[in-house]
Amino acid sequence: MKIFTDSLIFQKEMLTLKKNKTIGFVPTMGALHEGHISLIERAKKENDFCVVSIYVNPTQFNDPKDFEKYPLTYEQDCEILRKHNVDYLFSPTYSQIYPDGFNFEVSEKNLSSLLCGKFRPGHFVGVLTVVLKLLNLAQATKAYFGEKDYQQFKLIEKMAQAFFIPTEIISSPTIRDKDGLALSSRNQLLSTEGIDRAKYFAQTLKRASDKNEIIEKLNLKEIEIDYIEEFENRRYSAVRIDNVRLIDNVPI
Protein backbone atom coordinates (compact mmCIF):
# COMPACT_ATOMS: atom_id res chain seq x y z
CA MET A 1 0.00 0.00 0.00
CA LYS A 2 1.37 3.40 -0.98
CA ILE A 3 0.77 6.08 1.65
CA PHE A 4 0.48 9.78 0.77
CA THR A 5 0.26 12.68 3.20
CA ASP A 6 0.90 15.54 0.77
CA SER A 7 -2.23 16.66 -1.12
CA LEU A 8 -0.62 17.79 -4.36
CA ILE A 9 1.70 14.77 -4.65
CA PHE A 10 -1.30 12.50 -4.04
CA GLN A 11 -3.38 14.35 -6.66
CA LYS A 12 -0.54 14.12 -9.20
CA GLU A 13 -0.29 10.35 -8.68
CA MET A 14 -4.08 9.98 -9.07
CA LEU A 15 -4.07 12.08 -12.28
CA THR A 16 -1.43 9.76 -13.75
CA LEU A 17 -3.29 6.65 -12.60
CA LYS A 18 -6.64 7.68 -14.04
CA LYS A 19 -5.26 8.08 -17.57
CA ASN A 20 -5.81 4.39 -18.26
CA LYS A 21 -7.23 2.87 -15.05
CA THR A 22 -10.40 3.24 -12.96
CA ILE A 23 -10.14 4.42 -9.36
CA GLY A 24 -12.56 3.49 -6.55
CA PHE A 25 -12.33 5.88 -3.60
CA VAL A 26 -13.50 5.31 -0.01
CA PRO A 27 -13.18 8.43 2.20
CA THR A 28 -13.14 7.63 5.93
CA MET A 29 -12.30 9.12 9.31
CA GLY A 30 -10.53 5.92 10.34
CA ALA A 31 -11.53 3.65 13.25
CA LEU A 32 -12.33 1.20 10.48
CA HIS A 33 -14.97 -1.51 10.88
CA GLU A 34 -16.86 -4.02 8.70
CA GLY A 35 -18.98 -1.19 7.26
CA HIS A 36 -15.85 0.44 5.77
CA ILE A 37 -14.56 -2.94 4.66
CA SER A 38 -17.72 -3.62 2.68
CA LEU A 39 -17.21 -0.28 0.86
CA ILE A 40 -13.54 -1.15 0.21
CA GLU A 41 -14.40 -4.60 -1.14
CA ARG A 42 -16.99 -3.08 -3.45
CA ALA A 43 -14.55 -0.40 -4.62
CA LYS A 44 -11.97 -3.11 -5.36
CA LYS A 45 -14.46 -5.22 -7.29
CA GLU A 46 -15.72 -2.35 -9.45
CA ASN A 47 -12.41 -0.58 -10.18
CA ASP A 48 -8.79 -1.25 -11.14
CA PHE A 49 -7.44 0.50 -8.04
CA CYS A 50 -8.78 1.12 -4.54
CA VAL A 51 -7.91 4.34 -2.73
CA VAL A 52 -8.85 5.04 0.90
CA SER A 53 -8.46 8.28 2.84
CA ILE A 54 -8.23 8.59 6.60
CA TYR A 55 -8.79 12.10 7.87
CA VAL A 56 -10.68 13.08 11.02
CA ASN A 57 -12.05 16.34 9.73
CA PRO A 58 -12.30 18.89 12.57
CA THR A 59 -14.57 21.28 10.65
CA GLN A 60 -17.49 18.83 10.70
CA PHE A 61 -17.51 18.51 14.50
CA ASN A 62 -19.77 21.22 15.88
CA ASP A 63 -18.96 20.00 19.39
CA PRO A 64 -15.21 20.17 20.23
CA LYS A 65 -15.66 17.47 22.92
CA ASP A 66 -17.02 15.10 20.28
CA PHE A 67 -13.92 15.75 18.14
CA GLU A 68 -11.56 15.18 21.09
CA LYS A 69 -13.02 11.80 21.91
CA TYR A 70 -13.31 10.53 18.31
CA PRO A 71 -11.45 7.17 18.22
CA LEU A 72 -7.98 7.30 16.60
CA THR A 73 -6.67 3.88 15.57
CA TYR A 74 -4.28 4.70 12.71
CA GLU A 75 -1.85 1.78 13.07
CA GLN A 76 -4.66 -0.73 13.37
CA ASP A 77 -6.44 0.89 10.39
CA CYS A 78 -3.29 0.55 8.23
CA GLU A 79 -3.10 -3.13 9.12
CA ILE A 80 -6.73 -3.63 8.08
CA LEU A 81 -6.15 -1.76 4.80
CA ARG A 82 -3.04 -3.85 4.02
CA LYS A 83 -4.92 -7.05 4.82
CA HIS A 84 -7.60 -6.02 2.32
CA ASN A 85 -5.02 -5.16 -0.34
CA VAL A 86 -5.90 -1.49 -0.59
CA ASP A 87 -3.58 0.12 -3.16
CA TYR A 88 -3.34 3.70 -1.88
CA LEU A 89 -3.92 5.46 1.43
CA PHE A 90 -4.19 9.24 1.70
CA SER A 91 -3.81 10.47 5.29
CA PRO A 92 -3.25 14.22 5.28
CA THR A 93 -2.74 16.75 8.07
CA TYR A 94 -4.97 19.79 8.63
CA SER A 95 -2.70 22.15 6.65
CA GLN A 96 -2.66 19.77 3.67
CA ILE A 97 -6.46 19.80 3.53
CA TYR A 98 -7.02 23.42 4.57
CA PRO A 99 -4.13 25.42 3.02
CA ASP A 100 -6.66 28.29 3.00
CA GLY A 101 -7.26 27.92 6.77
CA PHE A 102 -10.92 27.00 6.05
CA ASN A 103 -11.45 30.37 4.41
CA PHE A 104 -13.60 28.78 1.72
CA GLU A 105 -16.55 26.51 2.44
CA VAL A 106 -19.36 24.67 0.67
CA SER A 107 -22.90 25.08 1.93
CA GLU A 108 -26.30 23.79 0.86
CA LYS A 109 -29.56 25.59 1.49
CA ASN A 110 -32.25 22.94 1.93
CA LEU A 111 -31.59 19.35 3.00
CA SER A 112 -28.63 20.34 5.18
CA SER A 113 -30.89 22.28 7.56
CA LEU A 114 -33.14 19.26 8.27
CA LEU A 115 -32.63 16.13 10.44
CA CYS A 116 -29.00 16.10 11.71
CA GLY A 117 -28.51 19.61 10.30
CA LYS A 118 -30.96 21.03 12.88
CA PHE A 119 -28.97 19.55 15.75
CA ARG A 120 -25.41 19.97 14.45
CA PRO A 121 -25.06 23.52 13.12
CA GLY A 122 -22.20 23.74 10.62
CA HIS A 123 -21.75 19.96 10.44
CA PHE A 124 -22.71 19.57 6.79
CA VAL A 125 -20.68 22.63 5.75
CA GLY A 126 -17.64 20.81 7.16
CA VAL A 127 -18.60 17.51 5.51
CA LEU A 128 -19.31 19.01 2.07
CA THR A 129 -16.19 21.17 2.14
CA VAL A 130 -13.85 18.29 3.02
CA VAL A 131 -15.53 15.87 0.60
CA LEU A 132 -15.26 18.33 -2.29
CA LYS A 133 -11.54 18.70 -1.53
CA LEU A 134 -11.06 14.91 -1.23
CA LEU A 135 -12.93 14.27 -4.51
CA ASN A 136 -10.78 16.84 -6.30
CA LEU A 137 -7.64 15.21 -4.94
CA ALA A 138 -8.59 11.56 -5.49
CA GLN A 139 -9.81 12.04 -9.08
CA ALA A 140 -11.80 8.81 -8.67
CA THR A 141 -14.10 7.11 -11.13
CA LYS A 142 -16.44 6.15 -8.28
CA ALA A 143 -16.62 7.17 -4.61
CA TYR A 144 -18.40 5.05 -2.00
CA PHE A 145 -20.44 6.15 1.03
CA GLY A 146 -22.40 4.12 3.59
CA GLU A 147 -26.18 4.43 3.86
CA LYS A 148 -25.94 4.74 7.64
CA ASP A 149 -25.19 8.40 6.92
CA TYR A 150 -27.98 8.62 4.35
CA GLN A 151 -28.49 12.39 4.66
CA GLN A 152 -24.74 12.86 4.15
CA PHE A 153 -24.80 10.59 1.09
CA LYS A 154 -27.73 12.54 -0.50
CA LEU A 155 -26.00 15.87 0.14
CA ILE A 156 -22.73 14.64 -1.38
CA GLU A 157 -24.59 13.24 -4.38
CA LYS A 158 -26.37 16.57 -4.93
CA MET A 159 -23.13 18.54 -4.44
CA ALA A 160 -21.30 16.40 -7.02
CA GLN A 161 -24.12 17.11 -9.51
CA ALA A 162 -24.20 20.83 -8.70
CA PHE A 163 -20.43 21.26 -9.13
CA PHE A 164 -20.07 18.93 -12.16
CA ILE A 165 -17.76 16.57 -10.28
CA PRO A 166 -17.07 13.69 -12.68
CA THR A 167 -16.85 11.07 -9.90
CA GLU A 168 -19.88 8.77 -9.63
CA ILE A 169 -21.26 8.91 -6.06
CA ILE A 170 -22.33 5.48 -4.88
CA SER A 171 -24.12 4.40 -1.71
CA SER A 172 -23.82 0.99 -0.12
CA PRO A 173 -26.18 -0.63 2.43
CA THR A 174 -25.61 -0.19 6.16
CA ILE A 175 -23.75 -3.11 7.71
CA ARG A 176 -25.36 -4.29 10.96
CA ASP A 177 -24.36 -6.74 13.67
CA LYS A 178 -26.47 -9.83 14.30
CA ASP A 179 -28.82 -7.84 16.55
CA GLY A 180 -29.40 -5.09 14.00
CA LEU A 181 -27.04 -2.45 15.42
CA ALA A 182 -25.56 -0.34 12.59
CA LEU A 183 -21.76 -0.56 12.68
CA SER A 184 -20.18 2.78 13.53
CA SER A 185 -16.78 3.99 14.68
CA ARG A 186 -18.57 5.58 17.63
CA ASN A 187 -19.82 2.20 18.92
CA GLN A 188 -16.38 1.61 20.43
CA LEU A 189 -17.03 4.52 22.81
CA LEU A 190 -20.06 2.74 24.33
CA SER A 191 -20.10 0.73 27.59
CA THR A 192 -21.38 -2.87 27.51
CA GLU A 193 -24.69 -1.64 28.84
CA GLY A 194 -24.62 1.18 26.25
CA ILE A 195 -24.18 -1.37 23.45
CA ASP A 196 -27.33 -3.17 24.66
CA ARG A 197 -29.28 0.09 24.63
CA ALA A 198 -27.89 0.93 21.16
CA LYS A 199 -29.13 -2.45 19.88
CA TYR A 200 -32.53 -1.75 21.42
CA PHE A 201 -32.55 1.65 19.66
CA ALA A 202 -31.81 0.04 16.26
CA GLN A 203 -34.48 -2.64 16.76
CA THR A 204 -37.08 -0.09 17.90
CA LEU A 205 -36.41 2.20 14.95
CA LYS A 206 -36.95 -0.70 12.58
CA ARG A 207 -39.93 -2.41 14.23
CA ALA A 208 -42.09 0.30 15.82
CA SER A 209 -45.13 1.34 13.83
CA ASP A 210 -44.84 5.10 14.33
CA LYS A 211 -42.91 7.94 15.90
CA ASN A 212 -44.99 7.95 19.12
CA GLU A 213 -44.28 4.28 19.74
CA ILE A 214 -40.55 4.85 19.21
CA ILE A 215 -40.51 7.79 21.65
CA GLU A 216 -42.39 5.76 24.24
CA LYS A 217 -40.05 2.77 23.90
CA LEU A 218 -36.82 4.82 23.94
CA ASN A 219 -38.05 6.76 26.99
CA LEU A 220 -38.48 3.45 28.83
CA LYS A 221 -34.72 2.85 28.47
CA GLU A 222 -33.88 6.51 29.17
CA ILE A 223 -32.38 6.94 25.71
CA GLU A 224 -32.01 10.65 25.00
CA ILE A 225 -33.58 11.53 21.64
CA ASP A 226 -32.28 14.27 19.32
CA TYR A 227 -34.90 13.56 16.68
CA ILE A 228 -37.05 10.91 15.01
CA GLU A 229 -38.33 11.95 11.59
CA GLU A 230 -39.94 10.26 8.63
CA PHE A 231 -38.75 11.93 5.45
CA GLU A 232 -38.91 10.80 1.82
CA ASN A 233 -39.69 7.13 2.61
CA ARG A 234 -37.07 6.79 5.30
CA ARG A 235 -37.22 6.88 9.07
CA TYR A 236 -34.26 8.77 10.53
CA SER A 237 -33.16 9.16 14.12
CA ALA A 238 -30.31 10.46 16.26
CA VAL A 239 -30.00 9.61 19.94
CA ARG A 240 -27.49 9.91 22.75
CA ILE A 241 -26.34 6.87 24.70
CA ASP A 242 -23.46 7.13 27.23
CA ASN A 243 -23.03 10.71 25.91
CA VAL A 244 -22.24 9.30 22.47
CA ARG A 245 -24.34 10.52 19.55
CA LEU A 246 -25.62 7.64 17.40
CA ILE A 247 -27.57 7.92 14.16
CA ASP A 248 -29.49 5.38 12.12
CA ASN A 249 -32.08 5.26 9.35
CA VAL A 250 -34.29 2.60 7.79
CA PRO A 251 -36.39 2.56 4.63
CA ILE A 252 -40.18 2.62 5.23
**Coil, strand or helix: which one is 208?**
coil
Nearer to ligand PAF by Cβ, of 50 and 130: the residue is: 130
Size of the site for ligand PAF (CB under 6 A): 10
Q: Which listed residue (33, 36, 84, 123) is catalytic?
A: 36
Build a one-symbol-per-residue string for 17-56: x at contacts with ligand PAF by CB under 6 A, - elsewhere.
----------xxx---------------------------
Q: Where are the beta strands (DSSP E) in the chain?
A: 2-4, 23-28, 49-54, 88-90, 142-146, 168-172, 224-231, 234-241, 244-251
CB 208 to ligand PAF: min, Å = 26
- In 10 A of CB 89, how many CB atoms? 22
CB 63 to ligand PAF: min, Å = 15
Residue 149 interacts with ligand PAF (CB under 6 A): yes or no: yes
Total residues found in the chain within this entry: 252
Enumerate helices (H) and strands (E) in the chain, giving the number of each.
Answer: 10, 9
Residue 129 interacts with ligand PAF (CB under 6 A): yes or no: no
- Please give the helix or strand (H or E) that residue 219 lies within, else none: helix 211-220
Q: Point out which residues bind ligand PAF (CB under 6 A).
A: 27-29, 57, 60, 127, 130-131, 149, 152
Query: Could you list the active site residues?
Result: 36
